[in-house]
Amino acid sequence: MNKTVHIGNALVGDGCEPFVIAEAGINHNGDISLAKKMIEVAAESGVDAVKFQTFRTEDFIFDHKITYTYQSQGKEVTESMFDMFKRTEFSREEWGEIKDCCDNCGITFLSTPVTVHDLEMLIGLGTAAVKVGSDDFTNIPFIKEYASKGLPMLISCGMADGDEIEQVVNASTEINDDLCIFLCTSQYPTPPENANISKLEEMRRRFPDVVLGFSDHTQGSTAAVLAVGYGAKVFEKHFTLSHDFPGPDHWFASDPDELREWASSIKEAYEMVGSPDLVPTPAEREMRSLARRSVVVVEDVEEGEVFSVNNLGLRRPGTGIPPSSYESILGRIAAKAIKAGALLEWDDLA
């Protein structure tokens, strides 16, 4: 069956154009002006939505001593994970500014909540869907509560196995069947050998009533182009305004030019996938008249003469009797005299 999901004003799924999300995440570094600039850049790149992360650090990190090591500005940095996230928080008022900026730029606003309280705030702002990250994929109580809000569910399945995916699909669709599951590899960046785009084929077989997406953590556009061919309909990718900014994601996230190329490649790949119907295109219909061959008289033929390999050949254009009939004509009698070079017609046969 054809499965679609509404994300804002966009219809997403089978028979629809890809829905492309630029993942700003925390790459604004807690700077509201930088976040607004990212929205503008995303809108200019041709994507459909820009996605952030909405949280209070205290709600998902308790121990301030937990550290995180990452690459930034050409160096290895180790710092408190609590401090890293804390400096990227926004207030309710700032989230309102971000949503207004998205509206003014004509781009859909999305954000991943960490708690139901965060989600309720996002709903109050008018978010178009609920995006759940891979870290909360098995958080079934949250997913059920999120699903009960009635918005489309966009869920990344990084780190999950097939049974876990099935459990989440069942838990969500029991409440809300507007669901998109994203193939995702939780490795930043994801090397080619770990992308496993063919997982989409198995996901499509096991979950035919679910829209498929691809959360692209690879570098470049190749994986996303392949994902289009395997049936993904929604796409997201981390981006930054500069690889030189401080922070954990900037060095591998796409810069504005790379984001634009990635989004363009997805839309071009969708056009290339096209229709599965085994029929020629309109341009091919015109070309086959020119390029194909017809049965042609290659030597003058007298009335009553037998058609043979000596006086018949196959030549362009393809507007006459097709080559598939050539063998059935051999041995037939000419109904009239025919000059060399003429396309044979059925009336020429006695």
Is the Cβ–Cβ distance between 333 and 305 less than 8 Å? yes
End-to-end Cα distance, the chain: 54
CA distance linking residue 133 with residue 116, whole number of Å? 14
Is the Cβ–Cβ distance between 232 and 183 less than 8 Å? yes
CA distance linking residue 314 with residue 308, whole number of Å? 12
Six token digits for residue 215: 């959360």
| CB atoms closer than 10 angstroms to residue 286 | 11
Distances (CA, A) of 157 to 6, 185, 230: 20, 8, 17
Show Cβ contacts of residue 299 under 8 Å, excluding neighbours closer than 6 positions: 310, 311, 340
CA distance linking residue 297 with residue 311, whole number of Å? 6
Six token digits for residue 101: 């900026």
Structure confidence at residue 2 (pLDDT): 59
CA max distance for the chain: 102
Residues of the chain with pLDDT under 70: 1-2
| CB atoms closer than 10 angstroms to residue 272 | 10
Structure confidence at residue 259 (pLDDT): 98
Distances (CA, A) of 111 to 80, 115, 254, 285, 303: 24, 12, 19, 48, 82
Is the Cβ–Cβ distance between 113 and 130 less than 8 Å? yes
Six token digits for residue 56: 């209070």
Show Cβ contacts of residue 195 under 8 Å, excluding neighbours closer than 6 positions: 185, 218, 223, 226
Q: In this predicted model, what pLDDT tens digit does every residue of 128-184 receive, in sequence order?
A: 999 999 999 999 999 999 999 999 999 999 999 999 999 999 999 999 999 999 999
Show Cβ contacts of residue 185 under 8 Å, excluding neighbours closer than 6 positions: 158, 194, 195, 196, 217
H-helix or E-strand spanning residue 183: strand 179-184
Is the Cβ–Cβ distance between 326 and 295 less than 8 Å? yes
Distances (CA, A) of 32 to 29, 108, 228: 9, 18, 34
Q: Amino acid identity of 61? A: I
Q: How many CA atoms lie within 13 A of 320 on its CB side?
A: 21
| CB atoms closer than 10 angstroms to residue 150 | 11
Q: How many CA atoms lie within 13 A of 214 on its CB side?
A: 31
